[in-house]
Each structure stands twice: as structure tokens, then as C-alpha cells.
Amino acid sequence: MAKTGFFHHIGTFLLFAAAILLLITTISSPVVNHIGVMKITLSNSTNGANSVVSFGTFGYCIEHASGNTDYCTGKHVGYNPAQIMEGIDNTDFNTASVDTSKALTRVMVLHPIACGLAFIAFLLAAGSGIIGAVAAAFLSAVAWIVTIVVMATDFVLFGIIKKHVNDDGSGSHAYFSVGMWTLLAAMICLFFATFIVLFTCCSSRMHRQNHTSSKHAETGYANGTTTTKRHFWQRRSRY
């Protein structure tokens, strides 16, 4: 029982960790300027430093190398990173890449949804009762699926931008940043948390059933109501 409880605490902690990791991805640029899902170091240089474009969940920021105030867009669902890079760095994108990247940014609204599901699953797992643990495992599984979907979307979306920027010969360099890796880590945490919480829930239920059966057997023995199984030749006919 003690081991089961220990593993349940591990599963609960993983759910909490996943919620925090997803929160970091959610509050990426322009909510927190320097946290990006993908960043692009531009080829311009001021005093030995380059400006950086930081793409996040609800928009983007340009971190100026000169130390001036960063420029950030408003927070909204969906934007056009390909068109942005065409204007900033003259990166050449075809129409399909522009339309695809613009459409996929709308899927990033799943970042906060997955974060909310993971946090609710954590609260349920932290509470008591088998029903709460089962609900936590279910929500954790849903959050895991949502995280996989949005992570795949992010890799495709920013993979398109990354390839065009790095291959166009401008000298700018695109790379996945903190927000992408916290998303990946959250997916791994949710995967293990789902199975750990479900396993400990089932183990706890089996333990309780066995404990209840043992109690009933002991009570029957104490009251002298225990019965001994007879072989068929020892049984008397009822007629």
C-alpha cells in the first residue's frame, strides 16, 4: 500500500510539472517577451549584437540588439509568421507555405487548453478517492492527446519557417526555443503520469477489495459461521 501511495505521488507531481511546463509555453511571446517557441537571430548587427524575432503562442516580439524597447504585437489567436519574416528579413516563401503557417498558428490555442486540463488533473489526483484518481487519469490522457496534436502542429508550422529562413542565404538563423522544449517535456510528463495514476488507482482498489474480503472472512470465523467445503460423496441427498 505504501509503495502504491508513493507512485501515486510521483504521478501527481508529474501532472503538476506538466501544467507548469505548458504554462511556460502558453505565456511565450508576446506575453513574456524573451520566451519563444521559435526564435530567429537576424543577420543585422548593432554593437556586436543581433536583433532576435521571438515567435510565441499569441503573437511575436522583436528583441532589439540596440537595447531599445522590444516591439511586441497584441495578444491574439492566429498570426502570419511567414509574412512577418518576408517583411523583416525578405525571406522568400511560396503561397502554400504562407497559407499553411498562418492556418496552423490558430491551433496554438490548444496550448492553454492542454495546460488547464493538466492542472485540473493534478487537482483531482491530489485529492482523495478512487473516483478522483480515475477522473485524473482520464483528463491526463486527454491533455496528453491535445499536447501531442499541438506539438506536432508547432513542429510543422515552425519547421516551415525554420527551413526557409536558414536556407535563403540571408545569414539569419532560426531555431526552436524554450517554448517548444517545455511543450515536449510536458508531453512526456503527461504520458507517464497517465499510466502511473491509473495503475495506482487500480492497485488501490484491488487492495481495498482484498482487505474487505479478509475482514469478512475473519468476522465469520470469529462468529463460528465458517463452513468447510465437502466432497461430493460426503454430501447427503436432500431426498
> Is residue 184 exposed (0-12), middle (13-18) or buried (19+ Cβ within 10 Å)?
middle
Grid cell listed for 217: 472472512
User: pLDDT tens digit string along 26-82?
Assistant: 999 999 989 999 999 998 765 557 889 999 999 999 988 766 678 899 899 999 999
User: According to the model, what pLDDT value does residue 45 have?
Assistant: 60
Q: Which of 148, 39, 153 is nearest to 100 (CA)?
A: 153
Confidence tier at 132 by pLDDT (50, 70, 90): confident
For residue 235, pLDDT beyond 90: no
Task: Show the cell assigned to 203.
Answer: 492497485
Query: Kind of pairing, strands 60-63 and 52-55?
Result: antiparallel
Q: Name the amino acid, one letter, at 67.
A: G
For residues 112 and 13, give the distance between their C-alpha atoms in angstroms, rounded to a whole number: 19
Burial class, 232, CB count within 10 angstroms (exposed 0-12 / middle 13-18 / buried 19+): exposed
The per-residue pLDDT for 6 is 76
This prediction's pTM: 0.81
Contact 85, 127 (CB under 8 A): no
* Beta-bridge partner residues of 49: 46
